[in-house]
Amino acid sequence: MKFVLSLLLALCAASSEAAITVVDDSGKQVVLARPAQRVISMAPHVTELLFAAGGGARIVGAMNYSDYPLEARKIPLIGSNSQIDLERVIAMKPDLLVVWQSGNTARQIGQLQSLGIPVFHSEPRNLETVATSLERFGRLLGTDQAAIEAAARFRARVQNLRARYAARPPVAVFYQVWDNPIYTLNGDQIASDAIRLCGGKNIFGELKTVAPQVSIEAVLQRDPEAIFGGKRYTPQDRGLTIWEPYRGMTAMRRKNLFELDGESLTRPGPRVVEGAALMCARLEEARARR
């Protein structure tokens, strides 16, 4: 009996010391000898995911605009999407770097990889990848239980929205990221997955660029039934008011111009399901105005 107990304890110890291997969003394997204790987050959405996965206390440095949850604002900053303080990164002695391909330049990522520190590429393009990101971060940080529970809650909320709205009559949607010049999102960005979840169709979903610039004429030609845009934070932001002169457009005629918190839909973290729920409700309003 003592021999069996000793064997079990030895196996448990060996398992706890086994290397941790996960596949990141670039398809590369990330291998850690042990759960990460000192993590640097190179994007706001990564910070949110790490906190939701139970690893907030492990974040020793973060990129600017890492402002959610509130505890994230206390994390020392290591730079911006235009400039990283490499000396500061090295001084923090991280054992895991989580980068964002779309937000960090190739030069920055190359510099970080040259440091010899494990790098995880985070690029959630759809709602399911948010859930798997939580699970993978939980694995990397040794916070599996919290991460699995968070992923399950997220998936349940997404499924509830899908069951309620995905089969509703489709609504042609234009998603406005910026007004001068006009930028939108193609079908590969997570906001488009939220549009599909709500029974909508992104009118520029087929474009190749993730965040393409489009003209007023192009939007008018496609005549969206609903337009979404971010909130206006300064008097200089024209936001959705740029469409007021075009009263013949379906979205204007039916008063289907909706302001939403852009971060809750375009930042690919756990809060995206909250933004999706608001979008679904607004599309129901658009359907009711037919």
Q: Domains of the chain (ranges plus CATH)?
A: 17-152 (3.40.50.1980), 166-288 (3.40.50.1980)
Predicted pLDDT at 237: 76
| 60 contacts 83 by C-beta, under 8 angstroms | no
Nearest alpha carbon to residue 122 among 19, 45, 33: 45
Q: What is the CA radius of gyration of the chain?
A: 22
Q: Residue 74: helix, strand or coil by DSSP?
A: helix
The angle subtended at Cα 88 by Cα 87 and Cα 90, nearest 5°, is 65
Predicted pLDDT at 17: 55
Nearest alpha carbon to residue 116 among 92, 137, 94: 94
In degrees and rounded to multiples of 5, residue 273 shows phi and psi of: -70, -30
Q: What is the DSSP letter of 91?
A: H
For 139-170, what is each residue's pLDDT tens digit?
999 999 999 999 999 999 999 999 999 999 99
Q: Residue 121: helix, strand or coil by DSSP?
A: strand
How much is the pTM? Answer: 0.89
| 205 contacts 187 by C-beta, under 8 angstroms | yes
Predicted pLDDT at 233: 66
**Pairing of β 29-32 and β 20-23:** antiparallel
Residues of the chain predicted below pLDDT 50: 1-16
**Tokens 């510099």 -> residue:** 111
